[in-house]
Amino acid sequence: MSGPNVAIVGATGAVGKVLREILFERSFPVGNLRLMASERSAGMVIGTGLGDIEVESLDEADPGGIDIALFSAGGDRSRQHARRFADAGAVVVDNSSAFRMEADVPLVVVGINDVAVQGHSGVIANPNCTTMVLMMAAAPLHRAAGLRAMTATSYQSVSGTGNRAILELTQQAQWFAKTPEALFDGTWEEPDVNVYARPVGWNVLPYAGTEVERGYTDEEMKLRDESRKILDIPVLTVEPTCVRVPVMVGHGVAATMWFERPVSPDEAAELIAAAPGVEVWADKVATPLDCAGRDEVLVSRIRETLGEPGGINLWAVGDNLRKGAALNAVQIAELLI
């Protein structure tokens, strides 16, 4: 029996590449595979587990016959095309922020709120990659003790912004490497800056995303709003700060959490270690380099709070292109079949 017909929309982007790989790594039963991207990439031929496939123009593509469409083409294209694909009979799993907060669109982290998939009306949303990493650590604790408040600071890699940001970090690192002494005395010269407002090479930008309200960025508001929806805690208190760091792959989150009852570090470690898709590293600090290419979110530095007692401090890090995006999308598709 043939599997579902699948389309990858945004197939030539950073997440699209990983989507193509993960489908075949996990032996997803693809009947027919179609690859779609912008007009600029149309006509490109890409090798896949089903042979060479020519990339179609998304604007001109007929969605007829597609069962599952994995979208990772950005919010604007999702708003333009996702409902068109759904109306033609496809279930759209969308990786953008376009539909995440809509009432009729489930926001799903596989392993946390799988049952939400059943409530879709043609579109299912993938959470923000930073939220995804944090939820893998927070959800097991919430199920046991009732999460009531959280402070979270993210350390987000440039691949979360896409291929242009990866190139920008590479070029800026090379630029600064030519005169390393200038980084010590402040005589460094500004490199080309196209993606971010300030240089990201050998630097830290405490401002990920674009400002939306009260000095907060859209990345920070996603961390609050999406956490509330995934965990089904509409009144959850979240204090977010999102930071862009000079890392290629891997988003880290330092979080402090408080619960309806006290939670000890030992209990927290046991709860998180028992959850699917996450590992506790007790004897070694997990870093972005460790999580790159891995499906699991890694959690380390689980500690009791120093101020208000009974809370937990921890560090979680995950590959933002895999569990943070492509892997979760494919796992949602697996739930659908």
Task: Write out the E strands in the chain.
Answer: 6-9, 33-37, 45-48, 51-54, 56-57, 68-71, 91-94, 123-125, 147-156, 211-213, 216-217, 237-244, 251-259, 278-280, 297-304, 312-318
Q: In 158-231, which ranges are continuous DSSP H helix?
A: 163-177, 182-185, 218-231
Look at residue 196 and give its three-state secondary structure: coil
Q: How many whole angstroms from its chain centre is CA 67?
A: 23
Q: Which of 129, 142, 242, 291 is the catalytic position?
A: 129
Q: Give the pairing of strands 91-94 and 68-71.
A: parallel
Active site residue 242: no
Distance CA 125, CA 259 (A): 27
The length of the chain is 337
Distance CA 120, CA 73 (A): 20
Q: Which of 142, 242, 251, 291 is the catalytic position?
A: 251
Active site residue 291: no
Whose CA is closest to 6, among 82, 47, 72, 63? 63
- Which positions are catalytic? 129, 251
